[in-house]
Amino acid sequence: MGEQQSALFPTYARFPITMVKGEGSRLWDDQGNEYLDFMAGLAVTGLGHAPKRVKERLVAQLDELWHTSNLFSTPQAEKVAQLLTANSCGDAVFFCNSGADANEAAIKLARRYNQKVLGNDRYEIITFKQSFHGRTLATLTATGQDKVKEGYLPLPQGFIHAPYNDVAALESYITDKTCAIMLELVQAEGGIIVADPDFVQEITRLCEKYNLLLIIDEVQTGLCRTGKLFAYQHYGIEPDIFTLAKALGSGFPVGAMVGKSKLIPAFTPGSHATTFGGTPIAMSAALATLEVMLADHLADEAARKGKLLVDKLEKALAGNAFVKEIRGTGLIIGIECVEPTADAIAAIHAKRLLVVPAGPMVIRLLPSLIVTDEEIDKAVEIIAGVLAEKEAERKQTAAK
């Protein structure tokens, strides 16, 4: 970037690297350095960078039609919706442009279903501490972290934050205004915290008892990341609504909210809309991405590779006093450390492996679903090397 001042709002604490090219699990910066990418654009490039079969579909679509507005049908949107509902518990899809946008639609649908279909005045949604649901005013209010709310008062009403994985406490958060419970099954930004099966069981019991909607935020966990097409499939449950975004377009911005048939009457013409949702280009990216994920059994691949990666990390980091715990499911993995990880992450980047924090103490690994066993070996070697140095530094400081 040289001497010139950036003309962007400084909303991101960016790494001091400028990326210019990507292919598979590799990225190149403007200095020609090659990186092994174990963050995949934050769980977006599941098929790797510039996946050929998605690119071909996109290029073909660019020749045909870019945009029509949602006042017309397009075959692409119908096909993606068919594929999503055929492979999930959902019956209808609303397309939008991001994860926050999908969660916003879910929140609106939950309220409107209660107010217009059930005819009650319930609007409160129980979400969880440390959760992350997006940056619009409603979704940042749903988010269970104070740092995203600072300076944005007043916040919209109707969100209550319960402790995550706390079976005993949950029922006490339900009021006569509660209409839904919304959660991530792996709290991702919150530090890679996996929902306990008995906690999820309690949630479904309470949803039934009080007639609440169950909303699962699959924006990060969805689309093979956890070793199933959707994370809810690990738990034998059927959410009323689940939301998708990150990996759905392989990097082309696209979000989706998927809901059960009983919710369909709640969204009548004019009740919700977005200009770019389901545009033919976005739908071509999503269609090709889903077809590749299903044809190549990438959920099973993510399960196998995730297990391999965790096994190798556990071996390589055994006895390392800098490391507290390795956890995750499929290819969403966290290494929790006993001290803040910013320096360790910078050192890992300097060795040309890209990882990302999940909170101050956790190193998050989100390789692409097509990561190879050799790339896993290389990443483990780099991480183990850096964390061994961190352990040695810690021992030295303690000895002083």
Ligand X SMILES: *Cc1c(COP(=O)(O)O)cnc(C)c1O
Interface residues with ligand X (CB under 6 A)? 98-100, 103, 132-134, 184, 188-189, 217, 219-220, 245-246
Burial class (CB in 10 A: 0-12, 13-18, 19+), 398: exposed
**Residue closer to ligand X, measured from CB, 215 or 335:** 215
CB of 184 to ligand X, least distance (A): 5
Helix axes of 280-295 and 75-86: crossing angle, nearest 10 degrees: 30
CB of 98 to ligand X, least distance (A): 3
Helix axes of 52-64 and 280-295: crossing angle, nearest 10 degrees: 150
* Cα dihedral 126/131/136/141 (nearest 10): 50
**Residue closer to ligand X, measured from CB, 70 or 136:** 136
**Residue closer to ligand X, measured from CB, 225 or 260:** 225
The separation between the first and the last C-alpha atoms of the chain, rounded to the nearest angstrom, is: 42
**Residue closer to ligand X, measured from CB, 220 or 329:** 220
CB of 323 to ligand X, least distance (A): 24
CB of 364 to ligand X, least distance (A): 11
* CA triple 337-99-171, angle to 5 deg: 70
**Residue closer to ligand X, measured from CB, 25 or 220:** 220
**Residue closer to ligand X, measured from CB, 356 or 382:** 356
Per-position b or e across 59-95, b if 16+ CB within 10 A of its CB? eebeeeeeeeebeeebebbebbbebbbeebbbebbbb
Q: Which amino acid is at 121?
A: D
Which sign does the torsion angle of CA 149, 153, 157, 161 carry? positive
CB of 100 to ligand X, least distance (A): 3
H-type alpha helices, the chain: 40-43, 52-64, 75-86, 99-112, 137-142, 197-210, 280-295, 298-317, 342-350, 373-399
CB of 249 to ligand X, least distance (A): 11
Tokens of 143: 């988010």
Q: How far apart are CA 286 and CA 245, in angstroms?
A: 10
**Residue closer to ligand X, measured from CB, 158 or 253:** 253
**Residue closer to ligand X, measured from CB, 231 or 303:** 231
**Residue closer to ligand X, measured from CB, 188 or 266:** 188
Q: Which amino acid is at 163?
A: P
CB of 109 to ligand X, least distance (A): 16
Q: Which amino acid is at 88?
A: S
CB of 224 to ligand X, least distance (A): 15
State the residue number with the nearest CB to ligand X: 99
CB of 287 to ligand X, least distance (A): 19
β-bridge partners, 95:
256
* CA triple 84-88-91, angle to 5 deg: 70
Contact 260, 54 (CB under 8 A): no
